[in-house]
Amino acid sequence: AQKVTQAQTEISVVEKEDVTLDCVYETRDTTYYLFWYKQPPSGELVFLIRRNSFDEQNEISGRYSWNFQKSTSSFNFTITASQVVDSAVYFCALSEAGIQGAQKLVFGQGTRLTINP
């Protein structure tokens, strides 16, 4: 069965610190996609990144970076020089190959990140 584990329930740091959110996944599929979403207090899930299982290159987007390691089934997310606006709940997700081409997402429990001024 597909499973995503985000062991860190809550993280609190001071502004400008770097912070890494951990994500470990389990799947039997050889082809899959991994995602990170941000959920601010408004409730909407905001897409951050999608990575397919064949692309292990790390990615950097501004202050955000992602480290995908297939050998350890991890897809960690680092925010550099954190800002108060980064405060939110962050979800890691794995796409499950559903029938008829469905892109079913299996989410972790989320990590609540609080950036203190």
Partner 1 sequence: DTGVSQNPRHKITKRGQNVTFRCDPISEHNRLYWYRQTLGQGPEFLTYFQNEAQLEKSRLLSDRFSAERPKGSFSTLEIQRTEQGDSAMYLCASSFGRTTEAFFGQGTRLTVV
- Binding residues for partner 1 (CB under 8 A): 4, 33, 35, 37, 42-47, 50, 52, 91, 93, 96, 98-110
Minimum distance of partner 1 from residue 81's CB (angstroms): 26
| CB nearer partner 1, residue 33 or residue 73 | 33
Distances in Å between the Cα of 20 and the Cα atoms of 82, 83, 104 are: 10, 14, 26
| CB nearer partner 1, residue 42 or residue 71 | 42
- Residue 101 burial (CB count, 10 A): 6
Maximum Cα–Cα distance across the chain:
47
Minimum distance of partner 1 from residue 104's CB (angstroms): 5
| CB nearer partner 1, residue 30 or residue 71 | 30
Minimum distance of partner 1 from residue 63's CB (angstroms): 20
Name, in order, each residue with C-beta under 8 angstroms of 71's C-beta and a sequence gap of 6 or more.
Answer: none
Minimum distance of partner 1 from residue 39's CB (angstroms): 9
Name, in order, each residue with C-beta under 8 angstroms of 93's C-beta and a sequence gap of 6 or more.
Answer: 4, 34, 35, 36, 37, 105, 106, 107, 108
| CB nearer partner 1, residue 64 or residue 107 | 107
The owner of tokens 């299996």 is 106
